[in-house]
Amino acid sequence: MSRIDDLIKEHCPDGVESEPLHKFLDYSQPTKYIVESTKYDDNYSTPVLTAGDSFILGYTNETDGIYEASENSPVIIFDDFTTSFHWVDFDFKVKSSAMKMLTPKEGVNFRYVYYAMKNIRYKPSSHARQWISTYSEIEIPNPHPRIQQEIVDILDAFTKLEAELEAELEAELEARRQQYSHYRDELLNFDGKDVAWKALDDVAIKVSSGGTPLSTRKDYYGGDIPWLRTQEVIFGAINDTEMRITEKAVKETSAKWIPANCVIIAISGATAGRSAFNTIPLTTNQHCCNLEVDGRKAHWKYVFYWVRNEYERIKAKGRGARSDLNAGIIKAHPIPIPFANDPKKSLEEQERIVGILDKFDALVNDISSGLPAEITARRKQYEHYRNQLLTFQGAA
Protein backbone atom coordinates (compact mmCIF):
# COMPACT_ATOMS: atom_id res chain seq x y z
CA MET A 1 0.00 0.00 0.00
CA SER A 2 3.01 2.35 0.43
CA ARG A 3 3.27 3.12 -3.30
CA ILE A 4 -0.41 4.06 -3.43
CA ASP A 5 0.03 6.20 -0.32
CA ASP A 6 2.90 7.99 -2.07
CA LEU A 7 0.77 8.52 -5.19
CA ILE A 8 -2.09 9.88 -3.10
CA LYS A 9 0.23 12.33 -1.37
CA GLU A 10 1.56 13.41 -4.76
CA HIS A 11 -1.68 13.63 -6.74
CA CYS A 12 -4.53 13.86 -4.20
CA PRO A 13 -3.12 15.60 -1.10
CA ASP A 14 -6.51 17.11 -0.29
CA GLY A 15 -8.48 13.86 -0.59
CA VAL A 16 -10.32 12.00 -3.36
CA GLU A 17 -13.63 13.10 -4.79
CA SER A 18 -16.39 10.64 -5.67
CA GLU A 19 -18.63 10.77 -8.71
CA PRO A 20 -21.70 8.80 -9.88
CA LEU A 21 -21.25 5.82 -12.17
CA HIS A 22 -23.03 7.49 -15.08
CA LYS A 23 -20.08 9.90 -15.29
CA PHE A 24 -17.86 6.94 -16.17
CA LEU A 25 -20.12 4.58 -18.12
CA ASP A 26 -22.46 4.51 -21.09
CA TYR A 27 -25.18 1.89 -21.39
CA SER A 28 -27.14 0.21 -24.15
CA GLN A 29 -29.91 -2.38 -24.39
CA PRO A 30 -28.93 -5.84 -25.66
CA THR A 31 -32.00 -6.22 -27.90
CA LYS A 32 -30.15 -7.10 -31.10
CA TYR A 33 -27.94 -9.62 -29.29
CA ILE A 34 -30.74 -11.73 -27.78
CA VAL A 35 -30.57 -15.41 -28.69
CA GLU A 36 -33.59 -16.72 -30.60
CA SER A 37 -33.24 -20.43 -29.90
CA THR A 38 -33.15 -22.01 -26.45
CA LYS A 39 -31.58 -25.16 -27.82
CA TYR A 40 -28.13 -24.97 -26.27
CA ASP A 41 -25.29 -27.39 -26.87
CA ASP A 42 -21.78 -27.36 -25.40
CA ASN A 43 -20.46 -28.26 -28.84
CA TYR A 44 -21.67 -24.94 -30.26
CA SER A 45 -19.28 -22.01 -30.34
CA THR A 46 -21.06 -18.91 -29.02
CA PRO A 47 -21.86 -18.60 -25.29
CA VAL A 48 -25.27 -17.32 -24.22
CA LEU A 49 -24.98 -15.10 -21.13
CA THR A 50 -27.12 -13.96 -18.28
CA ALA A 51 -26.04 -11.47 -15.64
CA GLY A 52 -27.12 -13.89 -12.93
CA ASP A 53 -24.83 -16.18 -10.94
CA SER A 54 -24.88 -18.93 -13.56
CA PHE A 55 -23.44 -16.44 -16.11
CA ILE A 56 -23.06 -18.80 -19.09
CA LEU A 57 -26.39 -20.54 -19.70
CA GLY A 58 -25.15 -22.60 -22.63
CA TYR A 59 -23.86 -22.31 -26.19
CA THR A 60 -25.65 -21.53 -29.45
CA ASN A 61 -24.85 -22.05 -33.12
CA GLU A 62 -26.52 -18.78 -34.17
CA THR A 63 -24.18 -16.62 -36.21
CA ASP A 64 -26.11 -13.35 -36.39
CA GLY A 65 -26.46 -10.74 -33.66
CA ILE A 66 -23.26 -11.62 -31.81
CA TYR A 67 -21.74 -9.00 -29.49
CA GLU A 68 -18.06 -8.82 -30.39
CA ALA A 69 -16.21 -8.26 -27.14
CA SER A 70 -12.47 -8.80 -26.67
CA GLU A 71 -9.64 -8.07 -24.25
CA ASN A 72 -9.20 -4.72 -26.00
CA SER A 73 -12.93 -4.03 -26.13
CA PRO A 74 -14.60 -5.58 -23.08
CA VAL A 75 -18.10 -4.95 -21.77
CA ILE A 76 -19.88 -5.31 -18.44
CA ILE A 77 -23.24 -7.07 -18.64
CA PHE A 78 -25.47 -5.77 -15.85
CA ASP A 79 -28.73 -7.35 -14.67
CA ASP A 80 -31.16 -4.45 -14.47
CA PHE A 81 -33.22 -6.10 -11.74
CA THR A 82 -30.73 -7.87 -9.45
CA THR A 83 -27.69 -5.57 -10.16
CA SER A 84 -25.54 -8.67 -10.69
CA PHE A 85 -22.82 -8.01 -13.28
CA HIS A 86 -19.90 -9.65 -15.08
CA TRP A 87 -16.80 -8.56 -16.99
CA VAL A 88 -16.89 -10.05 -20.49
CA ASP A 89 -14.03 -10.01 -23.00
CA PHE A 90 -15.23 -12.59 -25.54
CA ASP A 91 -17.97 -12.80 -28.19
CA PHE A 92 -21.44 -13.72 -26.93
CA LYS A 93 -25.21 -13.50 -27.22
CA VAL A 94 -27.59 -12.79 -24.32
CA LYS A 95 -30.61 -14.57 -22.88
CA SER A 96 -32.99 -11.63 -22.41
CA SER A 97 -33.41 -7.87 -22.44
CA ALA A 98 -33.44 -7.68 -18.64
CA MET A 99 -29.92 -6.30 -18.57
CA LYS A 100 -27.74 -3.42 -19.67
CA MET A 101 -24.47 -3.43 -21.63
CA LEU A 102 -22.04 -1.09 -19.87
CA THR A 103 -19.09 0.44 -21.71
CA PRO A 104 -16.60 3.16 -20.70
CA LYS A 105 -16.79 6.81 -21.64
CA GLU A 106 -13.72 8.23 -23.36
CA GLY A 107 -10.64 8.37 -21.14
CA VAL A 108 -12.14 6.17 -18.38
CA ASN A 109 -10.13 3.34 -16.81
CA PHE A 110 -12.84 0.71 -17.35
CA ARG A 111 -11.14 -1.96 -15.28
CA TYR A 112 -10.86 0.40 -12.32
CA VAL A 113 -14.59 1.18 -12.52
CA TYR A 114 -15.36 -2.55 -12.62
CA TYR A 115 -13.39 -3.13 -9.41
CA ALA A 116 -15.06 -0.13 -7.79
CA MET A 117 -18.48 -1.56 -8.73
CA LYS A 118 -17.55 -4.86 -7.07
CA ASN A 119 -16.97 -2.89 -3.89
CA ILE A 120 -20.52 -1.42 -3.90
CA ARG A 121 -22.83 -2.85 -1.26
CA TYR A 122 -26.32 -2.33 -2.62
CA LYS A 123 -29.33 -4.65 -2.68
CA PRO A 124 -32.48 -3.77 -4.65
CA SER A 125 -35.56 -3.47 -2.47
CA SER A 126 -38.05 -4.13 -5.27
CA HIS A 127 -38.29 -5.96 -8.58
CA ALA A 128 -37.75 -2.85 -10.69
CA ARG A 129 -35.13 -1.76 -13.20
CA GLN A 130 -32.17 -0.34 -11.31
CA TRP A 131 -29.57 1.17 -13.65
CA ILE A 132 -31.13 4.50 -14.67
CA SER A 133 -33.16 5.14 -11.54
CA THR A 134 -30.69 4.16 -8.85
CA TYR A 135 -27.51 2.27 -9.61
CA SER A 136 -26.02 4.74 -12.08
CA GLU A 137 -26.29 7.42 -9.39
CA ILE A 138 -24.16 5.49 -6.91
CA GLU A 139 -20.85 7.24 -6.42
CA ILE A 140 -17.40 5.69 -6.58
CA PRO A 141 -14.04 7.32 -5.68
CA ASN A 142 -12.31 8.98 -8.63
CA PRO A 143 -8.60 9.29 -7.77
CA HIS A 144 -5.86 10.38 -10.17
CA PRO A 145 -5.48 8.08 -13.23
CA ARG A 146 -2.05 6.88 -12.03
CA ILE A 147 -3.63 5.75 -8.76
CA GLN A 148 -6.43 4.01 -10.60
CA GLN A 149 -3.97 2.08 -12.75
CA GLU A 150 -1.87 1.11 -9.74
CA ILE A 151 -5.01 -0.30 -8.07
CA VAL A 152 -5.95 -2.18 -11.24
CA ASP A 153 -2.46 -3.71 -11.51
CA ILE A 154 -2.57 -4.87 -7.89
CA LEU A 155 -6.10 -6.28 -8.07
CA ASP A 156 -5.49 -7.96 -11.43
CA ALA A 157 -2.45 -9.72 -9.96
CA PHE A 158 -4.38 -10.62 -6.83
CA THR A 159 -7.34 -11.87 -8.91
CA LYS A 160 -5.04 -14.12 -10.94
CA LEU A 161 -3.45 -15.50 -7.78
CA GLU A 162 -6.85 -16.02 -6.18
CA ALA A 163 -8.10 -17.86 -9.29
CA GLU A 164 -5.07 -20.14 -9.25
CA LEU A 165 -5.46 -20.90 -5.55
CA GLU A 166 -9.21 -21.50 -5.91
CA ALA A 167 -8.58 -23.80 -8.87
CA GLU A 168 -6.19 -25.84 -6.73
CA LEU A 169 -8.66 -25.95 -3.85
CA GLU A 170 -11.55 -26.84 -6.15
CA ALA A 171 -9.48 -29.64 -7.67
CA GLU A 172 -8.65 -30.91 -4.17
CA LEU A 173 -12.30 -30.63 -3.17
CA GLU A 174 -13.40 -32.60 -6.24
CA ALA A 175 -10.80 -35.26 -5.45
CA ARG A 176 -12.15 -35.49 -1.89
CA ARG A 177 -15.72 -35.75 -3.24
CA GLN A 178 -14.71 -38.64 -5.47
CA GLN A 179 -12.87 -40.27 -2.57
CA TYR A 180 -15.93 -39.77 -0.36
CA SER A 181 -18.19 -41.22 -3.06
CA HIS A 182 -15.91 -44.27 -3.34
CA TYR A 183 -15.85 -44.89 0.41
CA ARG A 184 -19.61 -44.29 0.71
CA ASP A 185 -20.36 -46.77 -2.05
CA GLU A 186 -18.01 -49.30 -0.50
CA LEU A 187 -19.41 -48.87 3.00
CA LEU A 188 -23.00 -49.07 1.80
CA ASN A 189 -22.45 -52.03 -0.51
CA PHE A 190 -23.56 -55.16 1.33
CA ASP A 191 -23.26 -57.74 -1.42
CA GLY A 192 -22.17 -61.03 0.12
CA LYS A 193 -22.28 -59.63 3.64
CA ASP A 194 -24.34 -60.61 6.66
CA VAL A 195 -27.32 -58.29 6.29
CA ALA A 196 -31.07 -58.56 6.50
CA TRP A 197 -33.13 -56.39 4.18
CA LYS A 198 -35.85 -54.58 6.05
CA ALA A 199 -38.42 -51.96 5.09
CA LEU A 200 -37.82 -48.47 6.47
CA ASP A 201 -41.07 -48.88 8.38
CA ASP A 202 -39.47 -51.85 10.22
CA VAL A 203 -36.79 -49.63 11.78
CA ALA A 204 -39.07 -46.72 12.63
CA ILE A 205 -40.99 -46.04 15.81
CA LYS A 206 -43.25 -43.69 13.90
CA VAL A 207 -43.65 -42.41 10.33
CA SER A 208 -45.54 -39.15 10.04
CA SER A 209 -46.13 -36.07 7.91
CA GLY A 210 -46.99 -32.54 8.90
CA GLY A 211 -49.31 -29.83 7.70
CA THR A 212 -49.48 -26.29 6.36
CA PRO A 213 -51.48 -23.81 8.42
CA LEU A 214 -53.70 -21.50 6.36
CA SER A 215 -51.57 -18.65 5.04
CA THR A 216 -54.48 -16.24 5.61
CA ARG A 217 -54.41 -16.90 9.34
CA LYS A 218 -51.93 -14.37 10.67
CA ASP A 219 -52.31 -15.86 14.15
CA TYR A 220 -50.76 -19.08 12.84
CA TYR A 221 -47.46 -17.51 11.76
CA GLY A 222 -44.68 -15.53 13.41
CA GLY A 223 -44.44 -17.64 16.54
CA ASP A 224 -41.39 -19.41 17.93
CA ILE A 225 -42.02 -22.95 16.64
CA PRO A 226 -39.73 -24.02 13.74
CA TRP A 227 -41.76 -25.09 10.68
CA LEU A 228 -39.94 -26.91 7.87
CA ARG A 229 -40.85 -26.75 4.17
CA THR A 230 -39.59 -29.21 1.56
CA GLN A 231 -37.40 -26.63 -0.21
CA GLU A 232 -35.25 -26.65 2.93
CA VAL A 233 -34.66 -30.42 2.71
CA ILE A 234 -31.19 -30.41 1.16
CA PHE A 235 -29.37 -33.68 1.97
CA GLY A 236 -27.94 -32.50 5.30
CA ALA A 237 -28.61 -31.16 8.75
CA ILE A 238 -31.60 -28.93 9.51
CA ASN A 239 -30.46 -26.67 12.34
CA ASP A 240 -33.20 -24.06 11.95
CA THR A 241 -36.09 -23.21 9.63
CA GLU A 242 -36.87 -20.18 7.53
CA MET A 243 -40.41 -19.90 8.89
CA ARG A 244 -41.98 -20.25 12.32
CA ILE A 245 -45.52 -20.90 13.46
CA THR A 246 -47.47 -20.43 16.68
CA GLU A 247 -48.71 -22.79 19.40
CA LYS A 248 -52.22 -22.08 18.12
CA ALA A 249 -51.24 -23.41 14.68
CA VAL A 250 -49.92 -26.63 16.23
CA LYS A 251 -53.09 -27.10 18.27
CA GLU A 252 -55.50 -26.40 15.42
CA THR A 253 -53.75 -27.86 12.35
CA SER A 254 -51.91 -31.03 11.36
CA ALA A 255 -48.47 -29.39 11.74
CA LYS A 256 -47.24 -31.52 14.65
CA TRP A 257 -43.93 -31.70 16.49
CA ILE A 258 -41.28 -34.29 15.64
CA PRO A 259 -38.26 -34.92 17.88
CA ALA A 260 -34.65 -34.22 16.91
CA ASN A 261 -32.74 -36.78 14.83
CA CYS A 262 -35.59 -37.82 12.58
CA VAL A 263 -34.88 -38.71 8.96
CA ILE A 264 -36.94 -36.38 6.78
CA ILE A 265 -37.76 -37.21 3.16
CA ALA A 266 -39.46 -34.76 0.80
CA ILE A 267 -42.29 -36.42 -1.12
CA SER A 268 -43.56 -33.68 -3.41
CA GLY A 269 -42.72 -32.57 -6.95
CA ALA A 270 -39.26 -31.23 -7.70
CA THR A 271 -38.04 -31.93 -4.17
CA ALA A 272 -39.29 -35.52 -4.04
CA GLY A 273 -36.67 -37.94 -2.76
CA ARG A 274 -34.45 -35.38 -1.08
CA SER A 275 -33.56 -36.17 2.51
CA ALA A 276 -32.31 -34.44 5.63
CA PHE A 277 -32.19 -34.83 9.39
CA ASN A 278 -33.20 -32.36 12.09
CA THR A 279 -30.88 -31.44 14.93
CA ILE A 280 -33.71 -29.68 16.77
CA PRO A 281 -37.35 -30.58 17.46
CA LEU A 282 -39.55 -28.95 14.81
CA THR A 283 -42.76 -29.16 12.79
CA THR A 284 -43.03 -29.77 9.05
CA ASN A 285 -45.42 -29.26 6.18
CA GLN A 286 -47.45 -32.12 4.71
CA HIS A 287 -44.90 -32.77 1.95
CA CYS A 288 -42.33 -34.09 4.43
CA CYS A 289 -42.31 -37.76 5.42
CA ASN A 290 -40.69 -37.97 8.85
CA LEU A 291 -39.10 -41.18 10.16
CA GLU A 292 -38.51 -41.41 13.91
CA VAL A 293 -35.95 -44.22 13.99
CA ASP A 294 -36.06 -46.98 16.60
CA GLY A 295 -32.64 -46.78 18.24
CA ARG A 296 -32.82 -50.44 19.26
CA LYS A 297 -32.86 -51.51 15.61
CA ALA A 298 -30.95 -48.85 13.70
CA HIS A 299 -28.79 -45.78 14.16
CA TRP A 300 -30.76 -42.78 12.88
CA LYS A 301 -27.71 -41.35 11.11
CA TYR A 302 -27.08 -44.67 9.37
CA VAL A 303 -30.66 -44.57 8.11
CA PHE A 304 -30.11 -41.01 6.84
CA TYR A 305 -26.92 -41.91 4.98
CA TRP A 306 -28.65 -44.89 3.38
CA VAL A 307 -31.69 -42.85 2.35
CA ARG A 308 -29.52 -40.06 0.98
CA ASN A 309 -27.54 -42.58 -1.06
CA GLU A 310 -30.83 -43.99 -2.38
CA TYR A 311 -32.04 -40.61 -3.68
CA GLU A 312 -32.27 -41.61 -7.35
CA ARG A 313 -34.00 -44.91 -6.60
CA ILE A 314 -36.49 -43.29 -4.25
CA LYS A 315 -37.15 -40.43 -6.66
CA ALA A 316 -37.79 -42.90 -9.49
CA LYS A 317 -40.72 -44.33 -7.53
CA GLY A 318 -42.67 -41.08 -7.90
CA ARG A 319 -46.15 -41.22 -9.39
CA GLY A 320 -48.33 -38.94 -11.47
CA ALA A 321 -47.48 -35.86 -13.49
CA ARG A 322 -45.47 -34.39 -10.60
CA SER A 323 -43.74 -37.68 -9.71
CA ASP A 324 -44.95 -37.38 -6.13
CA LEU A 325 -44.10 -39.95 -3.48
CA ASN A 326 -46.19 -40.94 -0.47
CA ALA A 327 -45.72 -42.38 2.98
CA GLY A 328 -46.49 -45.89 1.78
CA ILE A 329 -43.68 -45.78 -0.79
CA ILE A 330 -41.22 -44.47 1.79
CA LYS A 331 -42.20 -47.01 4.43
CA ALA A 332 -41.74 -49.90 2.00
CA HIS A 333 -38.34 -48.80 0.70
CA PRO A 334 -35.68 -51.39 1.63
CA ILE A 335 -32.71 -50.80 3.92
CA PRO A 336 -29.91 -53.29 4.72
CA ILE A 337 -29.38 -53.97 8.42
CA PRO A 338 -25.98 -55.56 9.11
CA PHE A 339 -25.80 -58.45 11.60
CA ALA A 340 -29.55 -58.15 12.18
CA ASN A 341 -29.58 -61.23 14.45
CA ASP A 342 -27.15 -59.57 16.85
CA PRO A 343 -28.55 -56.11 17.76
CA LYS A 344 -25.43 -55.03 19.66
CA LYS A 345 -23.06 -55.98 16.86
CA SER A 346 -25.46 -54.46 14.31
CA LEU A 347 -25.52 -51.07 16.01
CA GLU A 348 -21.74 -51.11 16.45
CA GLU A 349 -21.28 -51.73 12.72
CA GLN A 350 -23.77 -48.99 11.86
CA GLU A 351 -21.95 -46.57 14.19
CA ARG A 352 -18.63 -47.47 12.53
CA ILE A 353 -20.07 -46.67 9.11
CA VAL A 354 -21.59 -43.43 10.39
CA GLY A 355 -18.28 -42.37 11.97
CA ILE A 356 -16.39 -42.73 8.70
CA LEU A 357 -19.06 -41.01 6.60
CA ASP A 358 -19.38 -38.18 9.11
CA LYS A 359 -15.70 -37.33 8.69
CA PHE A 360 -15.90 -37.23 4.91
CA ASP A 361 -19.20 -35.38 4.99
CA ALA A 362 -17.79 -32.64 7.22
CA LEU A 363 -14.68 -32.26 5.09
CA VAL A 364 -16.56 -32.05 1.80
CA ASN A 365 -19.86 -30.38 2.63
CA ASP A 366 -19.65 -28.41 5.87
CA ILE A 367 -18.96 -24.74 5.12
CA SER A 368 -17.63 -24.24 8.66
CA SER A 369 -14.77 -26.70 8.22
CA GLY A 370 -12.57 -28.29 5.62
CA LEU A 371 -11.84 -27.15 2.09
CA PRO A 372 -15.09 -25.21 1.43
CA ALA A 373 -14.27 -22.97 4.39
CA GLU A 374 -10.78 -22.36 3.01
CA ILE A 375 -12.24 -21.33 -0.36
CA THR A 376 -14.64 -18.96 1.41
CA ALA A 377 -11.79 -17.52 3.47
CA ARG A 378 -9.79 -16.80 0.31
CA ARG A 379 -12.71 -14.90 -1.19
CA LYS A 380 -13.25 -12.87 1.98
CA GLN A 381 -9.54 -12.05 2.11
CA TYR A 382 -9.68 -10.78 -1.47
CA GLU A 383 -12.79 -8.68 -0.78
CA HIS A 384 -11.17 -7.16 2.31
CA TYR A 385 -8.04 -6.27 0.35
CA ARG A 386 -10.07 -4.75 -2.48
CA ASN A 387 -12.04 -2.68 0.03
CA GLN A 388 -8.82 -1.37 1.56
CA LEU A 389 -7.47 -0.36 -1.84
CA LEU A 390 -10.66 1.44 -2.81
CA THR A 391 -11.16 3.36 0.43
CA PHE A 392 -9.95 6.96 0.30
CA GLN A 393 -10.18 10.04 2.43
CA GLY A 394 -12.83 12.31 0.93
CA ALA A 395 -11.90 15.65 -0.60
CA ALA A 396 -11.92 18.54 1.83
For the chain, the straight-line distance linking the first and the last C-alpha, in angstroms and rounded, comes to: 22
Cβ proximity of 87 and 114 under 8 Å: yes
For residue 138, the 8-state DSSP code is -
Residue 334 and residue 213 share a domain: yes
Beta strands in the chain (DSSP E): 18-20, 25-28, 46-49, 56-60, 75-79, 85-88, 93-94, 99-104, 139-141, 195-199, 204-208, 221-228, 237-238, 243-245, 257-258, 263-266, 275-278, 282-284, 288-293, 334-338
State the CATH number of the domain containing residue 69.
3.90.220.20
Residue 206 and residue 111 share a domain: no
Greatest Cα pair distance, the chain, in angstroms, is: 83
Residue 286 and residue 207 share a domain: yes
In a domain, 282, yes or no: yes
In a domain, 248, yes or no: yes
Looking at residue 5, its pLDDT comes to: 72
Residue 201 and residue 334 share a domain: yes
Q: How far is CA 176 from CA 237, 252, 365, in A?
A: 20, 48, 10
Residue 228 and residue 112 share a domain: no
pTM: 0.60
The closest of 56, 123, 114 to 83, measured between CA atoms, is 123
Domain that holds residue 305: 195-338
In a domain, 358, yes or no: no
Residue 38 and residue 121 share a domain: yes
In a domain, 65, yes or no: yes
Looking at residue 384, its pLDDT comes to: 86
Residue 205 and residue 329 share a domain: yes
Q: How many CB atoms lie within 10 A of CB 98?
A: 15
Residue 330 and residue 215 share a domain: yes
Cβ proximity of 378 and 169 under 8 Å: yes
Residue 131 and residue 243 share a domain: no
Residue 113 and residue 206 share a domain: no
Residue 208 and residue 136 share a domain: no
Looking at residue 161, its pLDDT comes to: 84
Q: Kindly tell me the sign of the dihedral angle through the C-alpha atoms of 171, 175, 178, 184.
A: negative
In a domain, 13, yes or no: no
In a domain, 311, yes or no: yes
**3-state class (DSSP) for residue 323:** coil
One digit per residue, the tens of pLDDT, for the chain of length 396 reads 467 777 777 777 777 899 999 999 999 999 999 999 888 888 999 999 987 666 888 999 999 999 999 999 999 999 988 899 999 999 999 988 888 999 999 999 999 999 999 999 898 877 788 999 899 999 999 998 998 999 899 899 988 888 888 888 788 878 888 888 888 888 888 888 899 999 999 999 999 999 999 989 999 999 999 999 999 999 999 999 999 999 999 999 999 999 999 999 999 878 899 999 999 999 999 999 999 999 999 999 999 999 999 999 999 999 887 889 999 999 999 999 999 999 999 999 999 999 999 988 887 776 556 777 777 888 888 888 788 888 877 654
Query: What's the rounded Cα separation, in Å, for the pair 268 and 94?
Result: 34
Looking at residue 15, its pLDDT comes to: 76
Looking at residue 239, its pLDDT comes to: 95
Beta strands in 163-319 (DSSP E): 195-199, 204-208, 221-228, 237-238, 243-245, 257-258, 263-266, 275-278, 282-284, 288-293
Residues contacting 324, CB < 8 A, separation 6+? 267, 268, 269, 272, 318
In a domain, 80, yes or no: yes
Q: How far is CA 282 from CA 191, 215, 251, in A?
A: 37, 19, 14
Q: How many domains does the chain have?
A: 2
Q: How many CB atoms lie within 10 A of CB 380?
A: 10
Looking at residue 369, its pLDDT comes to: 66
Single out the residue in 286, 314, 338 at which a domain terminates: 338
Residue 106 and residue 226 share a domain: no
Single out the residue in 312, 338, 364 at which a domain terminates: 338
In a domain, 156, yes or no: no
Buried b (16+ CB within 10 A) or exposed e, 215-235: eeeeebeebebbbbbbebbee
3-state secondary structure 34-94: ECCCCCCCCCCCEEEECCCCCCEEEEECCCCCCECCCCCCCEEEEECCCCCEEEECCCEEE
For helices 145-187 and 110-118, angle between their N-to-C axes, nearest 10 degrees: 50
Looking at residue 396, its pLDDT comes to: 47
Q: How far is CA 272 from CA 10, 199, 214, 249, in A?
A: 64, 19, 23, 25
Single out the residue in 338, 360, 382 at which a domain terminates: 338
Q: How many CB atoms lie within 10 A of CB 27?
A: 17
Query: What's the rounded Cα separation, in Å, for the pair 247 and 220?
Result: 8
